[in-house]
Amino acid sequence: MDRNAKAVVPGLCCAVVRQLVGQGVFWLAVLLTGAAQAAPKVGEVPPTYVGVDAEGNAVDLFGFKGKVVVVTFWASWCGYCLKEIPVLENVQRQAGDGRIRVIAVNIDD
C-alpha cells in the first residue's frame, strides 16, 4: 500500500464510524469531484436500490442494514477512481464483509 493510501485508510475508517454510529442503516457515499453538490447529509436515508451487479443481480442496500456501506462511483477514464478501488478493496478485505461492504458503481456511458 502506498504512503497516501496508508494515510487515508485509517482516517476514512474512523470518519465512517464516527459519522455513522447510531444510525439504522450505516452508509457513506464517496463522491467524485464534480458531484459534490449531490453529497448526502448526515442522517439522510439513501435510496435502497443501487443497480445491478456484474452478474445482473439487483443490488439493494436494505440487505446491508447494520453494516458500514461505502458506495463509490467510478469510470474507466477516471485515473483517481482506478487508484481508489484497490484501496477500498483492501479496507473491505481487512475489515471483513461482515463489517464493511464496498459497492463500486460504474458510471461509464
Cα(45)–Cα(102) distance, rounded to whole angstroms?
A: 17
Mean pLDDT (whole number) for 16-24: 41
Q: How far apart are CA 72 and CA 88, in angstroms?
A: 9
- Residues 76-88 as b or e (16 or more Cβ within 10 Å = b): eeeeebeebeebb
DSSP 22-49: T-SS--EEEPPTT-GGGPPPTTPPPPSE
- Checking if the pLDDT of 23 tops 80, the result is no
Please compute the mean of the pLDDT values over residues 16-36 and round it to a whole number: 40
The H or E element containing residue 79 is helix 79-95
Query: For residue 34, is pLDDT > 80?
Result: no
**Nearest 10 degrees: CA dihedral of 66, 50, 104, 67?**
0
pLDDT in the model for residue 47: 76
pTM for the model stands at: 0.55
pLDDT at 57 over 80: yes
SS3 100: strand
Confidence of residue 65 (pLDDT cuts 50, 70, 90): confident
pLDDT in tens, 83-109: 998 999 898 888 876 788 888 888 876
